């Protein structure tokens, strides 16, 4: 075995690789090694060797040492984005170099301004046969100082050449080409396959398990890579690798400029659909998207087809027109946000997101490419929008697909400014009790509606998590979405009843039904007012058991509103809102700021912040996770956090920064055993001590998987409180995917088996006198509340809107009766039987 001594290629501070703010390096996906925070601006050879490759963007190169070890030197982080600006290469591929000879010089000022970090990684990329045995880190170094010792030179593991060979071509859609990070992701997946993996780009062929070889392919955005896999299950492995490349290997993807012409815009209802006949009552169903019931008249919103000319008036002119229109729309949105006033409300946040979309570099680049091809500004903008909408829809991720509405919205606004047509689809002179009925509604359709005019909305398309659904809930109007042809058959002006709770729409309802609905709405309103008047008082059962009612929150703007509804705190802050749908990780300061705003909205009430709960089903662009066959059973919740401890520590520090000390509690999702909780506790305590925070922070475990319920006594030993996430507990308890429509009807949180898991959780918690909350969906269901209370749950964390009514109901309950009914429920066979028992005991439900 031979030893290779690598010397510092730069002067600066030698630091551990884990400190590099890029998971591909920090998690050693690219290879093992060290990093230098440079104070000199010339990268020099760390050993004698041959230059194997220099990256096209001039920010990285690889040397092969005499021992065969391949050393990647990568200057800064995300410097590939500079596309060579600021770098001067001093060597050429194939050149022999001596230790200390210059390789690449760089403009330190430019990098300091434009790159995410200057940390320069030096890693051994052909890791199989080599081990890093000595590191001189956490200290200043000068060029030429000893830095790393690499042992080895053994041949890499034999690749199996048995079995099938499978081959497929795939386009590379990463704007920056196959640079170090995506190459590392590919090679890591390729290495899981025992057989050979080759990647070809034109005439160049690379070993798919070698980061250097992959980078050496020089593959650029739009290149077609041919991947071939040899060995057992070659077809399956190939498919996974092709999918990985198609999904961008952890980088954002941008479609190819010559993508097909934009899809035709969605138009009005096809003429073949017969409108519902006047005078004949009819009923159709959709998906409930915002609660409430409304009686009113249909106002049809029809998409106006705008003819766009394809040819532009010259590149400069079209660039100017597009820039002007983008500025115009940006200003309109800013005025709207300004008018809105309430910082952080769901409404302003949505329009802030539109501002970000307007500046999206990929979108603008795609439009720019279309302009360069001679197209008009409106044509270029529409093709860029439609291509991106298509991409989101193809991701088969409902949440992202529903964001397509936002893209279409900014698309329409910009085109309206450019063409002077199609600006406002919703008439400004809406009659009172108007119910908007449309193929699809977009956020800006609702922005222009005068307050108090809108009674409800109903759409043929769209989803319950689309921004328009969130806006409707914020306006307090019921909404039914995804109603299909039913919505398209509603004639303009037809009387309607929209039931946003059942997802039903009555067309031409009888006078008797209209009157009865209006009467019950008036009674509801009076009841609600009475409940609201007492919502701020504490909540006890008639026999004096204190039940706390908290709110579930998922956005900063909702905290104050929840407190106004009588929330005694936030029992579950789903912190994912800070992490999803963005290209970079939120910083500690940004997180702390958002948590602080929420704490302030709650005015001193406790705030339970759940640590990040993401997984393979909700990937983050900046945290590559392996592609999993079944992500719901894979890396999720705390499992991800423990694999990314730096991210977890950042979140914990942000929580610890919130004032006043002790107002926040930390809740850990998807716990399956006590050691996970212990690991989080150690980090929390270390960070607390380091920050000098004297008040201890309560740490809770979510009970979301059956084994956690069974082991609740063990978890309660470690935790300060338990909180049952019945949404996941139902999914894992019944073995039914919570997103699968085929089993949606049986996915019943009141199943007696699940109630037994709740009972077991309380039993375990009581052994250590720990409180138990329920923060899953059934806590908001008044048919479940008496059972949960009867089983000994101390806190319900619910949707803010149900708090006043739920508190009023709890005040009518007797603990002894709840316990009696809960005992009986545990002996039943099905959720339906449980519901029947509850409604026969409390007939008003």
Residue 617 CA: distances (Å) to CA of 201, 251, 464: 31, 16, 18
In whole angstroms, the minimum distance from the beta carbon of 781 to ligand PEP comes to 13
Binding letters toward ligand PEP, positions 544-573, x by CB under 6 A: ----------------------------x-
Q: Are 40 and 50 in contact (CB under 8 A)?
A: no
If one asks whether residue 443 binds Mg ion (CB under 5 A), the answer comes out as no
In whole angstroms, the minimum distance from the beta carbon of 526 to Mg ion comes to 36
**Structural tokens at position 339:** 């008018």
CA distance 55 to 76: 13
The span of 180-188, 276-284, 395-403, 722-730 binding ligand PEP (CB under 6 A) equals: 722-730
CA distance 216 to 62: 9
In whole angstroms, the minimum distance from the beta carbon of 692 to ligand PEP comes to 33
What is the number of alpha carbons within 13 Å of residue 213 lying toward its C-beta?
15
DSSP 333: H
When the beta carbons of 445 and 728 are compared against ligand PEP, the nearer one is 728
Look at residues 18, 45, 16 and name the one whose alpha carbon lies nearest to residue 29. Answer: 18
When the beta carbons of 195 and 725 are compared against Mg ion, the nearer one is 725
Task: Give the sign of the dihedral formed by CA 817, CA 823, CA 825, CA 827.
Answer: negative
Which region, left, alpha or beta, applies to residue 605 given φ > 0 means left and ψ of -120 to 50 means alpha? beta
Site for Mg ion in 375-404 (CB under 5 A): none
The span of 18-26, 34-42, 403-411, 724-732 binding ligand PEP (CB under 6 A) equals: 724-732
Site for ligand PEP in 417-476 (CB under 6 A): none
When the beta carbons of 176 and 726 are compared against ligand PEP, the nearer one is 726
If one asks whether residue 726 binds ligand PEP (CB under 6 A), the answer comes out as yes
- Cβ-Cβ contacts under 8 Å for 6 (sequence gap 6 or more): 46, 47, 71, 122, 146, 147, 148, 149, 150
The span of 158-166, 697-705, 712-720, 729-737 binding Mg ion (CB under 5 A) equals: 697-705
User: 285 burial class (0-12, 13-18, 19+ CB within 10 angstroms)?
Assistant: middle
When CB distances are held under 5 to 8 angstroms depending on the partner's kind, the choice from ligand PEP, Mg ion, none that residue 726 binds is: ligand PEP
When CB distances are held under 5 to 8 angstroms depending on the partner's kind, the choice from ligand PEP, Mg ion, none that residue 775 binds is: ligand PEP
For tokens 């910082």, name the residue. 343
If one asks whether residue 439 binds Mg ion (CB under 5 A), the answer comes out as no
Task: Out of 22, 70, 568, 704, name the contact with ligand PEP by CB under 6 A.
Answer: 704
When the beta carbons of 687 and 704 are compared against ligand PEP, the nearer one is 704
Q: Are 822 and 812 in contact (CB under 8 A)?
A: no
**Structural tokens at position 280:** 């004949």
If one asks whether residue 795 binds ligand PEP (CB under 6 A), the answer comes out as no
If one asks whether residue 775 binds ligand PEP (CB under 6 A), the answer comes out as yes
In whole angstroms, the minimum distance from the beta carbon of 720 to ligand PEP comes to 18
When the beta carbons of 230 and 552 are compared against Mg ion, the nearer one is 552
When CB distances are held under 5 to 8 angstroms depending on the partner's kind, the choice from ligand PEP, Mg ion, none that residue 62 binds is: none
If one asks whether residue 676 binds ligand PEP (CB under 6 A), the answer comes out as no
In whole angstroms, the minimum distance from the beta carbon of 345 to Mg ion comes to 26
When the beta carbons of 193 and 610 are compared against ligand PEP, the nearer one is 610
CA distance 25 to 124: 11
- Sheet of 3-7, strands arranged across: 3-7, 146-152, 130-135
When the beta carbons of 71 and 729 are compared against Mg ion, the nearer one is 729
If one asks whether residue 711 binds ligand PEP (CB under 6 A), the answer comes out as no
Catalytic residues, which ones? 467, 775
If one asks whether residue 574 binds ligand PEP (CB under 6 A), the answer comes out as yes
In whole angstroms, the minimum distance from the beta carbon of 420 to ligand PEP comes to 45
Which region, left, alpha or beta, applies to residue 112 given φ > 0 means left and ψ of -120 to 50 means alpha? alpha
Q: Are 604 and 660 in contact (CB under 8 A)?
A: yes
Task: Out of 601, 776, 792, 800, name the contact with ligand PEP by CB under 6 A.
Answer: 776
In whole angstroms, the minimum distance from the beta carbon of 774 to ligand PEP comes to 8
Which region, left, alpha or beta, applies to residue 344 given φ > 0 means left and ψ of -120 to 50 means alpha? left
Q: Dihedral (C-alpha) 746, 750, 752, 758: value to the nearest 10 degrees?
A: 130
Residues that bind ligand PEP (CB under 6 A): 572, 574, 613, 704, 725-728, 775-776
Residues that bind Mg ion (CB under 5 A): 704, 725, 728
């Amino acid at each position: 075995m031979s030893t290779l001594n690598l010397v510092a290629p730069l002067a600066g501070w030698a630091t551990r690789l884990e400190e590099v703010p890029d998971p591909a390096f920090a998690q050693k996906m690219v290879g093992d090694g060290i990093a230098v925070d440079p104070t000199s601006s010339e990268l020099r050879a760390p050993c004698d060797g041959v230059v194997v490759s220099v990256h096209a963007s001039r920010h990285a190169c690889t040397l092969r040492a005499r021992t065969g070890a391949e050393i990647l030197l990568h200057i800064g982080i995300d410097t590939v984005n500079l596309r060579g600006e600021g770098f001067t290469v001093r060597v050429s591929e194939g050149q022999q170099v001596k230790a200390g000879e210059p390789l690449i010089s760089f403009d330190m000022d430019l990098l300091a301004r434009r790159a995410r970090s200057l940390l320069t990684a030096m890693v051994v990329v052909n890791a199989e046969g080599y081990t890093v045995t000595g590191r001189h880190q956490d200290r200043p170094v000068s060029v030429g100082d000893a830095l790393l010792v690499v042992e080895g030179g053994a041949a890499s593991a034999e690749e199996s050449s048995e079995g099938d060979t499978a081959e497929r071509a795939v386009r590379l859609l990463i704007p920056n080409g196959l640079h170090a990070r995506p190459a590392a992701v590919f090679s890591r997946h390729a290495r899981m396959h025992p057989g050979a993996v080759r990647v070809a780009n034109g005439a160049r062929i690379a070993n798919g398990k070698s980061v250097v070889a992959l980078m050496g392919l020089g593959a650029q955005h739009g290149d077609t890579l041919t991947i071939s896999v040899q060995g057992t299950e070659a077809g399956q492995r190939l498919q996974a690798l092709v999918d990985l490349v198609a999904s961008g290997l952890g980088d954002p993807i941008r479609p190819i400029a010559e993508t097909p012409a934009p899809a035709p815009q969605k138009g009005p209802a096809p003429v073949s659909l017969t409108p519902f006949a006047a005078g004949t009552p009819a009923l159709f169903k959709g998906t409930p998207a915002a609660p409430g019931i409304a009686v009113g008249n249909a106002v049809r919103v029809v998409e106006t087809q705008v003819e766009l000319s394809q040819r532009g008036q010259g590149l400069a002119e079209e660039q100017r027109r597009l820039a002007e229109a983008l500025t115009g729309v940006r200003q309109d949105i800013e005025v709207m946000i300004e008018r809105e006033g309430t910082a952080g409300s769901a409404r302003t946040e949505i329009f802030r997101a539109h501002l970000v979309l307007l500046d999206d570099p990929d979108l603008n680049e795609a439009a720019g490419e279309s302009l360069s091809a001679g197209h008009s500004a409106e044509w270029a903008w529409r093709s860029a929008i439609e291509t991106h909408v298509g991409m989101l829809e193809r991701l088969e991720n409902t949440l992202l697909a529903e964001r397509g509405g936002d893209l279409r919205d900014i698309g329409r606004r910009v085109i309206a400014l450019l063409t002077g047509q199609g600006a406002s689809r919703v008439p400004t002179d809406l009659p009172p009790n108007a119910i908007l009925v449309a193929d699809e509604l977009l956020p800006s359709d609702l922005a222009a509606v005068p307050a108090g005019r809108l009674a409800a909305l109903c759409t043929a398309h769209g989803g319950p998590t689309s921004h328009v659904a969130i806006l409707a809930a914020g306006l307090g109007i019921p909404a039914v979405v995804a109603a299909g042809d039913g919505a398209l058959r509603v004639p303009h002006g037809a009387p309607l009843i929209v039931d946003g709770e059942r997802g039903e729409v009555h067309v031409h309802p009888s006078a008797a039904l209209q009157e009865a609905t209006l009467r019950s709405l008036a009674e509801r309103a009076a009841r609600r007012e009475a409940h609201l008047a007492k919502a701020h008082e504490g909540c006890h059962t008639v026999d004096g058991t204190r039940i706390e009612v908290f709110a579930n929150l998922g956005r900063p703007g909702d905290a104050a509103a929840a407190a106004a509804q009588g929330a005694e705190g936030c029992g579950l802050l789903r912190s994912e809102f800070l992490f999803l749908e963005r290209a970079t990780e939120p910083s500690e300061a940004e997180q702390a700021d958002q948590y602080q705003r929420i704490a302030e909205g709650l005015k001193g009430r406790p705030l339970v912040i759940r640590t990040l709960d993401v997984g393979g089903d909700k990937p983050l662009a900046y945290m590559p996770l392996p592609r999993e066959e079944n992500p719901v059973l894979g890396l999720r919740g705390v499992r991800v956090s423990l694999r990314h401890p730096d991210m977890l520590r950042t979140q914990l520090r942000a929580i610890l920064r919130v004032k006043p000390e002790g107002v926040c509690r930390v809740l850990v999702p998807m716990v399956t055993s006590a050691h996970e909780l212990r690991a989080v506790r150690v980090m929390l305590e270390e960070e607390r001590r380091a920050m000098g925070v004297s008040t201890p922070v309560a740490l809770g475990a979510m009970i979301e998987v059956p084994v956690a319920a069974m082991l609740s006594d063990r978890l309660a030993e470690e935790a300060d409180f338990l909180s049952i996430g019945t949404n996941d507990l139902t999914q894992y308890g019944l073995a039914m995917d919570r997103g699968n429509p085929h089993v949606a009807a049986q996915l019943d949180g009141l199943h007696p088996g699940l109630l037994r898991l709740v009972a077991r959780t309380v039993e375990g918690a009581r052994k250590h006198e720990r409180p138990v909350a329920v923060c899953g969906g059934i806590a908001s269901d008044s048919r479940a509340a008496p059972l949960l209370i009867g089983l000994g749950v101390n806190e319900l964390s619910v949707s803010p809107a149900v708090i006043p009514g739920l508190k009023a109901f709890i005040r009518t309950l007797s603990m002894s009766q709840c316990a009696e009914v809960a005992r009986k429920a545990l002996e039943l066979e099905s959720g339906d039987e449980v519901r029947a028992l509850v409604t026969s005991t409390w007939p008003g439900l």
